[in-house]
Amino acid sequence: MSVLTTTIAAPRARQAERPSFAQAAEAHLDDVFAYLTYLTCDRGLADDLTAATFERALSLWRRFDPRRGSAKTWLCQIARTTALDHFRAEERRRRREGSYAARELRSGGEPAISEGLSPELEHALAALSAAEREVIALRVLLELDGPTAARVLGISETACSTRLSRALQRLEERMRLAVPA
């Protein structure tokens, strides 16, 4: 094989590793939805944010570089940004209207974190901060490794590990209080 042939073949090989958007979306739709459900504690909102995430991802797909991380990681980063944008907009709306209806509804209703969990575990998860739920969702639910979860969160691996450890300790404490021995 000549140098010219090798040079031309190399980009094609890299492109072959890159999935199509449809493949990536199909493979990771459930993961993104589950991640957003844990972040928001609201399946309806998570559904809306999942749609917004994939809409953004489609428009940004040309920027996806599989050498920098997996499609799952890239989609989770977009999902996180979408959720944070939503939370910021929601906060601005609340301040403008002077209404805290969303918070009251959340505190008065059942947490909608995940089907199949005990009510005690759902309540314990809902009582955690958004950052704590987020790291648990990434590391436990989606089974991302430490470096990948840290990249999604935009923090160091050490900070991610510390946040996970503290979140799991708080969850364990809340479960101990909720379930009599």
pLDDT over 90 at 73, yes or no: yes
pLDDT at 95: 67
Which residues, other chains included, contact 120 with Cβ-Cβ below 8 Å and sequence gap of 6+?
A: 175, 178, 179
pLDDT at 155: 82
Comparing CA positions, the residue from 147, 160, 161, 134 lying closest to residue 69 is: 147
Least confident of 21-25, 47-51, 68-72, 154-158: 154-158
pLDDT at 114: 55
Return the amino acid letter for 150.
Answer: A
pLDDT at 126: 81
Helix axes 146-153, 157-178, angle to 10 degrees: 100
Which residues, other chains included, contact 171 with Cβ-Cβ below 8 Å and sequence gap of 6+?
A: 124, 125, 128, 132, 136
pTM given for the model = 0.54
Please tell me the distance from the alpha carbon of residue 36 to that of residue 43, in angstroms, as a whole number: 8
> Which residue, chain included where needed, has tokens 């844990």?
38
Q: What is the pLDDT confidence band of residue 137, given thresholds at 50, 70 and 90?
A: confident
DSSP the chain: --HHHHHHHHHHHHHHHSPPHHHHHHHHHHHHHHHHHHHHS-HHHHHHHHHHHHHHHHHHGGG--TTTS-HHHHHHHHHHHHHHHHHHHHHHHHHHHT--HHHHHHHHS---S-TTS-HHHHHHHHHS-HHHHHHHIIIIIS---HHHHHHHHTS-HHHHHHHHHHHHHHHHHHHHHHS--
Please tell me the distance from the alpha carbon of residue 122 to that of residue 22, in angstroms, as a whole number: 33
| CATH number, domain 22-178, options 3.40.640.10, 1.10.10.10, 1.20.140.160, 3.40.50.300 | 1.20.140.160
CA-based torsion, 143, 147, 153, 159: positive or negative: positive
pLDDT over 50 at 136, yes or no: yes
pLDDT over 70 at 11, yes or no: no
pLDDT above 70: percentage of residues in the chain: 76
Average model confidence (pLDDT) across the chain: 80
pLDDT over 60 at 102, yes or no: no
Average pLDDT over residues 81-100: 74
For the stretch 105-121, pLDDT in tens is: 455 544 444 556 777 88
Q: What is the pLDDT confidence band of residue 13, given thresholds at 50, 70 and 90?
A: very low
